[in-house]
């Protein structure tokens, strides 16, 4: 589910919204490198938002401060976004993505000082994780146990990294996640009337010898480890 085996042409055809978002990330990152004025007009700055520049609740979702910031968020979107785009469809996916990012930025506006500035897709990406979190426990028909283990592991790592790095807007991460969880039933539906899946059902083998993983699972965990390492190293770049 999270292992990408498509070539670029196939990926672009299957996931046009994610392809477009990543392309916007790249274009705007390049523009920002050569135009500080553009950044000043589009970055999230709470004081200017309160003064009526409401577009700053949207534009920061597509902006990134550095190459590592751009690469980390774009790679996360490429890994975890495609399954959601296929489930929701193009229109519902972009609506969900923007709502998650905007609500994360609204929380930043309300809870951070007026002079606080911010940018990045993390709030919208954490909204995707919130939707997965909803699926893990309340829509097990959409997410099997193995992929549920992956999502909960990713969430744990993401939360740890959120509070390790003082430069991260932790409010956007947390409220993006909360927004995604709350919005999930409106976009996915409630599904079969079953009881929530328990944590024990997701991790039944804790403390027991684990069976060998398949090749695709190994590839995913290698990529995940690289992402975590990359994210930690980016704190020092």
Residues forming the active site: 122, 173
**Rounded to the nearest 5°, which phi and psi values hold at 117?**
-120, 155
- Give per-residue burial for 61-99: e unless 16+ CB within 10 Å, then b: bbbbeeebbbbbbbbbbbbbbbbbbebbeeeebbebbeb
- Report DSSP letters for 55-115, one per residue: GGGTGGGG--SSHHHHHHHHHHHHHHSHHHHHHH-HHHHHHHHHHHHHHHHHHHHHHS-TT
Cα separation values, 118 from 36, 64, 217, 235, Å = 15, 9, 35, 16
Neighbours of 146 (CB within 10 A): 13
Strand-pairing partners, residue 118, are 44
Burial class (CB in 10 A: 0-12, 13-18, 19+), 166: exposed
3-state secondary structure of 117: strand
């Amino acid at each position: 589910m999270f292992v990408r085996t498509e070539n670029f042409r196939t990926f672009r055809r299957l996931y046009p919204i994610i392809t477009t978002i990543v392309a916007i990330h790249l274009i705007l990152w390049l523009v920002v490198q050569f135009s500080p004025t553009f950044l000043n007009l589009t970055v999230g700055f709470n004081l200017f938002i309160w003064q009526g520049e409401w577009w700053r609740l949207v534009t920061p979702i597509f902006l990134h401060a550095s190459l590592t910031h751009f690469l980390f968020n774009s790679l996360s979107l490429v890994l975890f976004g495609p399954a959601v785009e296929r489930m929701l469809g193009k229109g519902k996916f972009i609506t969900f993505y923007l709502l998650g990012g905007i609500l994360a930025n609204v929380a930043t506006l309300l809870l951070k000082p007026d002079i606080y500035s911010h940018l990045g897709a993390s709030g919208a990406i954490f909204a995707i994780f919130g939707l997965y979190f909803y699926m893990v426990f309340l829509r097990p028909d959409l997410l099997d146990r193995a992929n549920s283990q992956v999502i909960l592991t990713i969430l744990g790592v993401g939360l740890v990294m959120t509070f390790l790095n003082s430069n991260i807007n932790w409010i956007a991460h947390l409220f993006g996640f909360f927004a995604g969880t709350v919005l999930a039933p409106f976009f996915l539906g409630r599904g079969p009337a079953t009881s929530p899946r328990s944590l024990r059902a997701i991790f039944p083998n804790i403390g027991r010898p684990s069976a060998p993983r398949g090749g695709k699972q190994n590839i995913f965990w290698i990529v995940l480890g690289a992402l975590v390492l990359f994210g930690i190293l980016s704190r020092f770049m």
